[in-house]
């Protein structure tokens, strides 16, 4: 499979004024409940992905995919030119929207997707594909082209580009993806492992506490209208130990007196 590189510098930014994929669409991640468990299912493995091209030098583009939670389903998307910089990289919520199937230049059957990045204030898009059979954790960044008349631009600011491509509907995304599938991809991103821990990091018990605070806060925002809904919410709160968080915060604060995050987390729960 040939991998192009020149197009990456020329490819415009693809944006929509409002998110094109919403909760009404079959995006990933998506919620599930089977009576005994619940959460967010995803076809994208969480962790770090390194780009691969036909150059001999090291990859110059990295992605990190993290999970947001189990009540509200979203990925957290990071990108940087070096894996070590992912820890400090800007990030945004993201969802993967399906766009059908198409054939590659080598006549491989590909599943097509748009990674929708951001929600409030509009979204931007990356066009991705993987093998329909055995694609696993290897994602191709497609060489999408902006439709005629959809480019917005003004004068650049020094060396910074200002142009972008406006996309107005999912059908346009689908047509762009199918067309791009017939060209060599810009890059291929392969999963290289879970995000490494870096110092300073939260001790395991504080990290668990932080995760439970987030889930309990999500539960507090729910407003069930049925008796079954209220019962489920109460049971979930009990499972997460929401009523004992203040007591646990006091214990953790005594154990880690230099960790200001504990009080801040508990304060966030009461907001």
117: confidence class by pLDDT, cuts 50, 70, 90: very high
| 117/234 same-domain check | no
| 126/171 same-domain check | yes
Q: What is the pLDDT of residues 149-168, one digit of tens each?
A: 999 888 888 888 888 999 99
Average predicted confidence (pLDDT) for the chain: 83
| 185/208 same-domain check | no
| 17/105 same-domain check | yes
Q: Which of 129, 163, 193 is the last residue of a domain?
A: 193
CA distances from residue 258 to 247, 253, 262 in whole angstroms, order as listed: 18, 8, 10
| 180/218 same-domain check | no
Q: Which of 173, 193, 213 is the last residue of a domain?
A: 193
| 18/44 same-domain check | yes
Pick 173 or 239 by higher pLDDT. 173
Residue 232 is assigned to a structural domain of this protein = yes
Q: Which pairs count as long-range contacts for 242-245, CB under 8 Å and 24+ apart, including other chains?
A: 242/212, 242/216, 245/209, 245/212, 245/213, 245/216, 245/269
Segment 186-190 mean pLDDT: 92
pTM listed for this prediction? 0.70
Pick 38 or 3 by higher pLDDT. 38
| 234/143 same-domain check | no
Q: State residue 6's pLDDT score.
A: 37
Q: What residues pair up with 7 in beta bridges, in sequence order?
A: none
Q: Considering its fold, how many domains does the chain have in total?
A: 2
| 152/228 same-domain check | no
| 128/217 same-domain check | no
| 187/264 same-domain check | no
- Write out the residue range of the structural domain in which residue 247 sits: 204-269
Q: State residue 9's pLDDT score.
A: 46
Pick from 142, 144, 103, 111: nearest CA to 43: 111
Residue 1 is assigned to a structural domain of this protein = no
| 189/212 same-domain check | no
Q: Which of 141, 172, 193 is the last residue of a domain?
A: 193
Stretch among 15-19, 93-97, 241-245 having the lowest mean pLDDT: 241-245
| 156/26 same-domain check | yes
Q: State residue 13's pLDDT score.
A: 92
Q: What is the pLDDT of residues 219-256, one digit of tens each?
A: 777 777 778 777 877 877 787 778 887 888 888 878 87
Residue 86 is assigned to a structural domain of this protein = yes
């Amino acid at each position: 499979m040939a991998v192009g590189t020149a197009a990456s510098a020329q490819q415009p930014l693809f944006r929509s004024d409002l998110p094109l994929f919403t909760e009404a669409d079959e995006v990933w991640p998506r919620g599930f409940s089977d009576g005994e468990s619940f959460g967010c299912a995803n076809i994208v493995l969480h962790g770090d992905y390194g780009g691969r091209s036909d150059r001999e030098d090291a990859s110059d583009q990295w992605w990190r995919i993290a999970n947001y939670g189990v009540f509200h389903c979203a990925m957290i998307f990071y990108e940087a030119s070096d894996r070590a910089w992912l820890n400090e990289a800007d990030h945004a919520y993201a969802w993967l929207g399906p766009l059908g199937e198409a054939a590659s230049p080598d006549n491989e059957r590909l599943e097509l997707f748009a990674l929708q990045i951001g929600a409030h204030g509009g979204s931007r898009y990356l066009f991705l594909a993987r093998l329909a059979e055995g694609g696993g954790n290897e994602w191709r960044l497609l060489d999408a082209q902006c439709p005629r008349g959809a480019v917005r631009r003004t004068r650049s600011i020094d060396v910074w580009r200002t142009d972008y491509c406006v996309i107005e509907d999912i059908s346009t995304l689908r047509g762009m993806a199918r067309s791009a599938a017939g060209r060599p991809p810009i890059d291929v991103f392969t999963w290289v492992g879970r995000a490494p821990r870096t110092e300073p990091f939260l001790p395991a018990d504080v990290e668990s506490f932080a995760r439970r605070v987030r889930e309990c806060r999500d539960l507090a925002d729910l407003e069930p209208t049925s008796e079954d809904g209220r019962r489920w919410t109460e049971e979930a709160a009990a499972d997460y130990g929401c009523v004992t968080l203040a007591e646990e915060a006091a214990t953790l604060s005594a154990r880690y007196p230099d960790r200001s995050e504990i009080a801040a987390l508990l304060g966030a729960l009461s907001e």
